[in-house]
Amino acid sequence: MACSKPEKKELSISDFETKIKSDMDYYSMVETFGKPSKDIGRGIHIYVYELKDSTKMLVGFTDKVLYAKQINRKEEIVKDLLVGN
C-alpha cells in the first residue's frame, strides 16, 4: 500500500482576497491556505505563499496577520490586501 502525500493547495489571489483576516492565528492560516513555502522574516514572520500565476503572497505575522502583499517576480508589490489593523 502506497502512502499518498497530501496535495499542495493551488492558491490564487482570490483565495487571499476572500479568506484572509487580520485576526487569523497561524493554525487557521495553515488550515485555510496550507503551510507557507518559507518564512523570510526577521523580527516578525513573513510567510511566503506561491500562487498559481507565478506571483507570491507575503503575509507579515506576529500573533495575528499584520499585512498581506502580492508580489511579482521582480518583487514589486502588485496588490496590498491588509494594511495594518
Residue boundaries of the structural domains of the chain: 13-83
Backbone angles phi, psi at 49, to 5 degrees: -115, 130
CATH-assigned architecture of domain 13-83: 2-Layer Sandwich (3.30)
pLDDT digits (tens, 9 = 90+) for 18-36: 999 999 999 999 999 999 9
End-to-end CA distance of the chain: 48
* Residue 58's pLDDT band (cuts 50, 70, 90): very high
Q: Which three cell numbers stand for residue 31?
A: 488550515
Q: pTM here?
A: 0.85
84/76 Cα distance (integer angstroms): 19
